[in-house]
Structure 1
Amino acid sequence: MALKTILYPVQDLAQAKTLFSTLFGVEPYVDQPYYVAFSADGQDVGLVPNGQQRGLTGATPYYFVDDIAKSLESLAGAGATVVEDAKDVGGGLLVAALKDADGNMIGIAQQPA
């Protein structure tokens, strides 16, 4: 398992894109109305417009796992609450989001087979 991506829910995508471009000193490698992504020294940082409406609160780290269904089940059994069930976000990449008992977001992702 590896922490590879951190997502930030944003209200103003253009403003957030400017801020993170300035912070990292690079332009995004994905620049779409539904998602903007940067790579900074091997760490991916994504901006999710209207993420709050999907239940995302604050930055969400995404850990890559081998079996997302099994991980969801195990984490829920350990006390996490599923916020967003596993779904394909394009190209076979599966993502899901949970909250721990303190309300902190945990994202998990599974690479395409």
Structure 2
Amino acid sequence: MTDFSTQGIRTVLHPVSDLARAKAVYTALLGGPPQTDSPYYVGFDTGDQHIGLVPDGGPQGMTSPVAYWHVPDLEARLAEVVAAGATVKEAAHDVGGGRRVATVTDTDGNVLGLIQDR
């Protein structure tokens, strides 16, 4: 078993139906413009957290916000939560900038995200 320490939930992605309208709301809420602004993703860094807006749920088809736990070893943690009863929803993969992500569903169907920054 690996070390169970995490760096906590520092990333939350929100599926949005209208990216421009959502961007305006989150800009007002967070008090400043996004640091990442593209047609497929808008991201805000605020304090120690990252808030992302994903149009139409993105390729993973999100239907509700997903909180991402930052972990030091994505593959090891993924294997542990699957062995404990979770089901892989989105396999581990690179999303750019040395970051790898994966999602699982827990035994009640809740989606949990895992992120490893390299």
Q: Which has the higher helix share?
A: 1
State the TM-score, normalized to the length of structure 1. 0.90
1:86 aligns with 2:86: no
Q: Following superposition, which runs of at least 4 residues in structure 1 exceed 6 angstroms of deviation?
A: none
Cα shift at 1:50: 2.2
Percent same amino acid at aligned positions? 45
> Which residue among 10, 22, 27 is the counterpart of 2:28?
22
Cα shift at 1:86: 0.7
Q: 2:47 aligns to what? A: 41
Unaligned runs of 5+ in 2: 1-5
The alignment's C-alpha RMSD in Å is 1.4
CA shift digits 1:49-89 (9 cap, x unpaired): 12265232311111111111111111111111111001110
State the TM-score, normalized to the length of structure 2. 0.87
> Which residue among 9, 19, 37 is the counterpart of 2:15?
9
Unaligned runs of 5+ in 1: none
Amino acid at match of 1:92: G
Count of residues in Structure 1 that have an aligned counterpart in Structure 2: 112
**Partners of 2:81 and 2:62 in 1: CA distance:** 17
